[in-house]
Chains A and B, each alone.
Chain A
Amino acid sequence: MNSVCLGKDTALTLGRSQQLSVALMGVNLTMDACRRPGAAVCKLTCAELKLGIKDGLNACCYICIFSFTVNKFEVKCLISLFYNLVGDVTERQGVVVGLDRNAFRNILHVTFGMTDDMIMDRVFRGFDKDNDGCVSVSEWVYGLSVFLRGTLEEKMKYCFEVFDLNGDGFISKEEMVHMLKNSLLKQPSEEDPDEGIKDLVEITLKKMDHDHDGKLSFPDYEAAVREEALLLEAFGPCLPDPKSQKEFEAQVFKDPNEFGEV
């Protein structure tokens, strides 16, 4: 089953809305998609569609499935993980379904080794699509599908959203300063401790601001990242680092059959 687990390279790049319609139109379209590379997953998703109805999972999971990023088995694992985590939270707080900000930040910190409070906050907002202050199961699966199996495009979009603090579609100088403010060692010898940060922001703009308007638009950011992939997380780590991702996957996507044999 794990053989279906696809790298980001082979994942199809359909727009989100497209995928939704695919999900609604059901089996016919998936058959159509079978002729494309990645056909193996499509077949699986047909089965999953039926299976899913039986299991009573909500539609959002199917979107993830149809985006060919996380496979059926992995979705299941993520969902069960979610309920495990939520279970812990609800016991203590009595709140219904969903991870609140603190619980989510805790997970980010423990599992994915993120440390920057502000970035973690932003990641939470990135996950919490409907802005209701807690990550629901669909938001969880969707977010993690980007985290773990996202294509470069998806990741760019996600990262840009994280870095665009006020959500105006641009990463401004002020936002950069805010995000980079802890990135340099303060040297007591320097008169202005923020001098370095400002300079760093200038360097970044010089590197990434292609239209020279003093702020980063998504096209600016996209062009810079395509040129140099290292700039994907230019203003702070907001994706899991490969090592913790691997460990997370090893832990979460354990094949129950394999496990039984051990």
Chain B
Amino acid sequence: MGVALTRSAQWTAAGHGTRNLEITPLNEAILKEIIIFVESFIYKHPQEANYVFVEPLEWQTKLDPSAFGSGYAVSETTVKSEEVDKNGEPLLFLSVPQIKIRSFGQLSRLLFIAKNTKLKEAQACIEANRNPITKILGLDYNVINEINEDSTLLTILDKITKDEDPESETKVKIALLLKQLDLHLLNHSLRHISLEIRLNPRTVKNDIELLKKFSGKGEQTVLESIDYTSDYEFSNGCRAPPWRQMQGEICYVLVKPHDVEILCLTCSNEGVFLNGGKTDDEGEINYERKGEIYKDLVTLLKEKSAVFSENMSKQEVRFSEEQQKEKDQLNEVPKEEEAAALHKASNASHRSNLEKNQINLGKNQMTKRLEPSLNWKTTVDAKEKRRLQRDNLEEKRGGRLEKPRPSILPGRAQLIRRSIEKAEEVISESSSESEEDEEPPDHRQEANADLPSEYWQIQKLVKYLKGGNQTATVIALCSMKDFNLAQETCQLAIRDVGGLEVLINLLETDEVKCQIGSLKILKEISHNPQIRRNIVDLGGLPIMVNILDSPHKSLKCLAAETIANVAKFRRARQAVRRHGGITKLVALLDCGQNLPEPAYLSLYETRDVEVARCGALALWSCSKSYANKEAIRKAGGIPLLARLLKTSHQDMLIPVVGTLQECASEENYRAAIKAERIIENLVKNLNSENEQLQEHCAMAIYQCAEDEETRDLVRLHGGLKPLASLLNNTDNKERLAAVTGAIWKCSISKENVIKFREYKAIETLVGLLTDQPEEVLVNVVGALGECCQEHENRVIVRRCGGIQPLVNLLVGINQALLVNVTKAVGACAVEPESMMIIDRLDGVRLLWSLLKNPHADVKASAAWALCPCIQNAKDAGEMVRSFVGGLELVVNLLKSDNKEVLASVCAAITNIAKDEENLAVITDHGVVPLLSKLANTNNDKLRRHLAEAISRCCMWGRNRVAFGEHKAVAPLVRYLKSSDTNVHRATAQALYQLSENADNCITMHENGAVKLLLDMVGSPDQDLQEAAAGCISNIRRLALATEKARYT
């Protein structure tokens, strides 16, 4: 029964841990058969029933001790059988809820006691004892079973002749009985499987369409009418509302046959049945099933309507008659085809096994669209399909000669695959990866179109793989490995001749050699993106994930390496995670702990290092998904990675650092990296000889250095010097990009900038401003932007001629680059001398035109950069006016809804408004109402710059009055309650300007400005003091004037 249980029974795909039997008709049937067997055991084989099991069968029972009667010693929570073994141990022992049984006799009795809950008990027993035969007969019997099923009988006979004692004779008898049961169960389940036929939206639709064509008024038609209840068809072909689709329902039809009343039917993938009919109000359908399930529409209608059945057969007769007429009338042809199809529809039971599979998949696709969490269902079905093939394969390996089952046609397989793929695309994963490789067009080699000779050779080898025993398979695998598997022709040839399916099937056998050989090939061909997808579609990943548990190190390594290759795209990474691969991969890292230095390694330890390396490699691939990063962290991967990082095995360090680098994009990783003191080792490895390792270390530092403390750590561990010196080697662009990135992030800290200046990094960076790829430029310019915050560095940049290339970069289109360039140019513009150069190179115009850039970041950054330019340019007013339409552009940017853009534009306006003429122009463009509109904001940065802009704009004409009219004053007063002194200062200055107008003073007074301003007068900030005092004095003066007016 072992075979039947592991292969036929449908276990839930709960992954590891205890798995449960799914509640399906098939499982129920198997359980029932087992129960019958056990129940009758005590009568049929009384002697064997007394045999004591090697190990007890143990499970959690639901039975109450009180249920046990005579023959048992019953207490409140325990039951002991009076039947005991040689040592006086009871054969049944129940200690609620755990039960232990050690003989068939007791098992039989228990089932009698269980009465109604027999099925439940049997299920619990089987679930808890996954390998009952071993427990009953001992390990050696099971071993025989697994090694070679066919020879079991033989071995058993051998045993009989060899062992003399009566117990082993009983054992053998029981083994034979169990074997018989096993065969019986297998046959039984096979019968069951062949009965299962499911409908899918397409077949239902075809049936209905056909019946429609044959419906209408008149005697000849089969039905009066047939109609859907809903006109809307979902993209999966269903018409049932989504919550009913979950139940597998496809659509509802109203059928009016000639002889009976309207039937309201539900078509579901289980079959067709009568439902509760349309309820009168609102046309709702009562979804309850009211009748038997029929296998399809035609069968149901035949049963319900005599006329339908009669006319249907007439149609069929007519069809055959027409066939005899030999299609003499052209207009008859379509009708004839219809009849043929109708004929087909009525013979739905002749569907091939294959189609059935497809239908199942179709159904999954449907349900999946609605419920992403049902995702695992596909794998279950796909697994089932594969299992059929594998069984076939395993049989062959057992040496039995049988005709192989015809393999699925490539076209079909592809179709199925596509449908899965589509379904899976619908489910979007919340993952951070952006570098997702594009789904490449799935091009297949045209049949017979100049196929290379390799194609035919590979086809032959695949034939031997399919039809050979273990020895032949290994030879074929080794030979296949000799092809140039890096070549796409060979990769695709293996796939196109059905080799992938076989290779993946081989992974599921127990043959280590076949598994190794298969993985060696898969590892190579999975470099091809199409093959990767095919492997995932064929369900290869879960199997490889399982292999990670294997005790064979080389097998583990190969599996991990293949996973590393396959998990290059999102769906694959998701699959690895869903099947518990991340935990297993993290566990691989544990192999390589406490290792000596490479020179002292023994062969044995070398393999441990290899295992860890492969694990890290696979994790590296997987770590590109956000969810996987989390999974790695939760599985305890960070401390392991940190420990591996301390070793000096270069091959291993690269994937380890690579993984860390990917993961460091997450905040909690950065914290963990700090905690595990990883930075120190990253810095150490920057000094390594290996360029790739240097690159990934630099990249990891780049990711981690977002954080101030980390930047300090890099400096303290002496990481800045190697970074600076790596700048001099510009051949390896990837590494250069990573190094410049690290320098950029590190230079956010002032102390680091001083170090970089010491190492002459700034000069080198300026040298890198030309002839470098964009990825490098972004980082170089970013670093310069940070460095130029300091006077000395600005001088260095100017002296080295860095301004010209920077300004030249302003014409680019790369968003990240533009943000950094504008920032750097802005930083340089603080220096009047540099500003002259920028002005001469027309840099301000370029900056100004970037205000039109579609990206908000670029706009904001450009506007910020304009501020120092306008401040430091000679004759700035004239320069600004020279940009045609420039002022209007700036004012209109105040309509943006990005806070950063608004703040930067306000700052720019503050600077522009310093020139009276320009102020007049922007006033004409309506700057006052636009600024007033922004007043109700909570963003302190925007508040500050807005207040500054308002105070500047007050200087013109009747702008003060206008701000009052546009209700800007009251919100400004509230700014004084902010916690930011910069906001206070700017606001006080604005209020001071506004208080020159009497109406504004009144508004301020009404809004309680005086008290707030009085507090500000006590501020240590002089400007703030002054402005606050000025404002109060204006308000006070107005009050005095009013009083005076009243009394005179």
A184 and B512: CB pair below 8 A? no
A185 and B404: CB pair below 8 A? yes
Judge if A254 is at the interface, Cβ distance under 8 Å. Answer: no
Shortest C-beta distance, A153 to chain B (Å), equals: 14
- Inter-chain CA distance A235–B476, complex, in Å, is 12
- Inter-chain CA distance A184–B475, complex, in Å, is 12
The 25 listed contacts between A and B (C-beta, < 8 Å) are: A7-B604, A9-B602, A110-B144, A113-B143, A115-B399, A182-B469, A183-B471, A183-B472, A184-B464, A184-B472, A185-B404, A196-B467, A199-B460, A200-B476, A203-B479, A206-B479, A207-B482, A228-B478, A230-B477, A230-B478, A231-B474, A233-B513, A234-B474, A236-B471, A244-B143
- B516: chain A residues at CB < 8 Å are 230
- Inter-chain CA distance A247–B151, complex, in Å, is 19
- A184: chain B residues at CB < 8 Å are 464, 467-469, 472
B396 and A110: CB pair below 8 A? no
How many A-B residue pairs lie within 8 Å, measured between CB atoms? 99
User: Which chain A residues (180-206) contact chain B, with CB distance < 8 Å?
Assistant: 180, 182-188, 196, 199-200, 203-204, 206
Residue of A nearest to B607 (CB): A9
Judge if B437 is at the interface, Cβ distance under 8 Å. Answer: no
- Known A-B contacts A9-B602, A185-B404, A234-B474; the reply to A242 vs B552 at CB < 8 A is yes
B158 and A230: CB pair below 8 A? no
Judge if B147 is at the interface, Cβ distance under 8 Å. Answer: yes
A88 and B143: CB pair below 8 A? no
- B552: chain A residues at CB < 8 Å are 242
Shortest C-beta distance, A244 to chain B (Å), equals: 7
B155 and A200: CB pair below 8 A? no
- Inter-chain CA distance A113–B468, complex, in Å, is 19
Judge if B225 is at the interface, Cβ distance under 8 Å. Answer: no
Please give the residue numbers on chain A whose beta carbons come within 8 Å of chain B beta carbons, in ascending order.
Answer: 7, 9-10, 88, 106, 109-110, 113, 115, 179-180, 182-188, 196, 199-200, 203-204, 206-207, 228, 230-231, 233-237, 241-244, 247
B143 and A247: CB pair below 8 A? yes
A204 and B475: CB pair below 8 A? yes
- A179: chain B residues at CB < 8 Å are 471
- Inter-chain CA distance A228–B147, complex, in Å, is 25
Residue of B nearest to A187 (CB): B467
User: Which chain B residues (495-543) contact chain A, with CB distance < 8 Å?
Assistant: 510-513, 516-517
B148 and A234: CB pair below 8 A? no
A200 and B510: CB pair below 8 A? no
- Known A-B contacts A9-B604, A188-B403, A203-B479; the reply to A244 vs B460 at CB < 8 A is no
- B476: chain A residues at CB < 8 Å are 200, 203
Judge if B165 is at the interface, Cβ distance under 8 Å. Answer: no
Judge if B261 is at the interface, Cβ distance under 8 Å. Answer: no
Interface size on B, residues (CB 8 A): 44
- A230: chain B residues at CB < 8 Å are 474, 477-478, 513, 516-517
- B603: chain A residues at CB < 8 Å are 9-10
User: Which chain B residues (457-488) contact chain A, with CB distance < 8 Å?
Assistant: 460-461, 463-464, 467-472, 474-479, 481-482
B148 and A115: CB pair below 8 A? yes
- B162: chain A residues at CB < 8 Å are 88
Residue of B nearest to A204 (CB): B475
- B399: chain A residues at CB < 8 Å are 115, 182
Judge if B401 is at the interface, Cβ distance under 8 Å. Answer: yes
Encode contact with A along B141-174: 1 for CB under 8 Å, 0 otherwise.
0011001100100010010001000000000000
Q: Which of A10, A113, A230, A242 has the most CB of B within 10 A?
A: A230
Judge if B402 is at the interface, Cβ distance under 8 Å. Answer: yes
- Inter-chain CA distance A234–B603, complex, in Å, is 25
- B404: chain A residues at CB < 8 Å are 185
- Inter-chain CA distance A151–B439, complex, in Å, is 48
Shortest C-beta distance, A39 to chain B (Å), equals: 14
- B510: chain A residues at CB < 8 Å are 243
B481 and A183: CB pair below 8 A? no
Shortest C-beta distance, B167 to chain A (Å), equals: 17
- Inter-chain CA distance A185–B405, complex, in Å, is 12
- A180: chain B residues at CB < 8 Å are 471-472
- Inter-chain CA distance A135–B513, complex, in Å, is 29
Shortest C-beta distance, A45 to chain B (Å), equals: 21
- Inter-chain CA distance A10–B604, complex, in Å, is 9
- Known A-B contacts A113-B148, A180-B472, A233-B471; the reply to A185 vs B396 at CB < 8 A is yes
- A106: chain B residues at CB < 8 Å are 158
- Inter-chain CA distance A235–B477, complex, in Å, is 14
- B144: chain A residues at CB < 8 Å are 110
- B517: chain A residues at CB < 8 Å are 230
Shortest C-beta distance, A144 to chain B (Å), equals: 18
Q: Of the candidates A7, A109, A207, A242, which one forms a contact with B478 in the assembled complex, judged by CB atoms under 8 Å apart?
A: A207
- A88: chain B residues at CB < 8 Å are 162
- B463: chain A residues at CB < 8 Å are 196
B471 and A207: CB pair below 8 A? no
- Inter-chain CA distance A233–B510, complex, in Å, is 16
- Inter-chain CA distance A244–B402, complex, in Å, is 27
Shortest C-beta distance, A79 to chain B (Å), equals: 20
- Inter-chain CA distance A235–B551, complex, in Å, is 25
- Inter-chain CA distance A9–B512, complex, in Å, is 20
- Inter-chain CA distance A230–B479, complex, in Å, is 11
- Inter-chain CA distance A9–B601, complex, in Å, is 12
Residue of B nearest to A186 (CB): B401
- Inter-chain CA distance A233–B473, complex, in Å, is 12
